[in-house]
Homo-oligomer: A and B are copies of this chain.
Amino acid sequence: MAKVLKTKDKILNAAERLFADQGFELTSLRQITGAADVNLASVNYHFGSKKALIQAVMERYHAQFMPELDERLKTLEGQGINSTEEVLSCFVGPLLSLQRINPLGTEIYLSLLGHAYSEIQGHLRRFTMQNFGHVVQRFFHCIQQANPHLSVATLFWRLHFTLGATVFAQVSGQALSEIAQADFGESATAEDIVGKLIPYLAAGIGAAEVSASARL
């Protein structure tokens, strides 16, 4: 069973793939319906509009990822937090479990986030904070506990640098992996990249604070 997908799911699967590769605005409904092998009008029939389709694609991933992340952060908080690595590692499981939606779910989700972030900056951030603001706050709180020596402002900036490095790494992860393969025979899956990323991010977040007078 579950061999033949309904039209709605065929659209979602084709759309998330193309959105992740090209961004939302650069992907046309004709591309999506062509790849999904369904009629053009079926997008508007099942979802109402392109914008609603985008939200449906994001929702499927958010709904899987956010509660799982929240769970792990909550558990860690209960145990006491000692290092940034611990906190960042809470992301690994939830990110990898996105592969239950799609074998490439991890890359796709982070790519979607990256495109959403840069295409409709304020809009998405507002949406995310409204719907999952408590998860973001919990994460921030965990990072604060792991880095009590750092100011709130410093952590704010460093967490956004972290988001940038993560999203960017995944968006161009495949291309980079091909280069790495050619240059020194080392390819990397999305999971591999996350493993390389975490020590880097943790060190960056926890770096000693520089005084304003210590100019470069």
Residues of A within 8 A of B (CB): 23, 25-26, 85, 89, 92, 114-115, 117-119, 121-122, 125, 152-154, 156-158, 160-169, 171-172, 175-176, 180, 183-184, 186, 188, 193, 195-210, 216
Contact = CB atoms under 8 A, between A and B. Distances in A.
User: Secondary structure at chain A's binding surface: helix, strand, loop or mixed?
Assistant: helix
Nearest to A154: B196
A186 B118 contact: no
B176 A169 contact: no
A180 B114 CA distance: 20
Nearest to A207: B203
A68 to B, nearest CB: 16
B198 A204 contact: no
A216 B198 contact: yes
Contacts of A164: 164-169, 172
Contact of A207 (B89, B176, B200, B208): B200
A200 B205 contact: yes
Nearest to A22: B119
Nearest to A173: B160
B25 A184 contact: no
B200 A161 contact: yes
A199 B207 contact: yes
Contact of A160 (B115, B176, B203): B176
Nearest to A206: B203
Contacts of A85: 216
Contacts of A171: 118
Contact of A117 (B172, B195, B198): B172
